[in-house]
């Protein structure tokens, strides 16, 4: 039986990965200490939480959600934090990623 905590851990893993990847740009090649620490700790937390979710959830399901939502989250963070362009094409790409995640996970049991 799956518990709500597995999904909470997966959500936290996704948020940690988005934070780490977003800080990667701010680290300027890992030459700035605080962003570099966020990168290392964020990825460490993300992978640890991801491993915990795999105790109860299928790997294909977990990875599709983690990677797909991570890509979308990082793209949105780039827009919000770094002033990167947001276009109809980028929005369409995000929609396609979500569609792919949904199709891959239509039946994960």
Q: Supply the angle between the helices 88-104 and 59-82 in degrees, to the nearest 10.
A: 160
The pTM (predicted TM-score) of the whole model is: 0.88
Domain ranges of the chain: 4-104
Query: What tokens does 65 get?
Result: 């959600």
- The per-residue DSSP string of 1-42 comes to ---HHHHHHHHHHHHHHHHHHHHHHHTTTTTSHHHHHHHHHH
Q: Assess contact for 60 and 41: CB atoms under 8 A.
A: no
> pLDDT tens, 33-72?
999 999 999 999 999 999 999 999 989 889 999 999 999 9
Q: What is the residue whose two structure tokens read 């909470």?
A: 8
> pLDDT tens, 68-83?
999 999 999 999 999 9
């Amino acid at each position: 039986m799956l518990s709500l905590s597995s999904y909470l851990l997966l959500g936290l893993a996704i948020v940690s990965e988005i934070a780490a990847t977003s800080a990667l740009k701010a680290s300027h090649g890992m030459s700035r200490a605080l962003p570099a620490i966020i990168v290392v700790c964020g990825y460490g937390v993300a992978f640890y939480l991801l491993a915990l979710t795999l105790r109860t959830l299928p790997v294909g399901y977990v990875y599709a959600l983690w990677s797909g939502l991570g890509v979308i989250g990082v793209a949105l963070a780039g827009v919000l934090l770094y002033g990167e362009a947001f276009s109809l094409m980028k929005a369409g790409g995000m929609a396609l990623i979500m569609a792919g995640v949904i199709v891959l996970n239509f039946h994960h049991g």
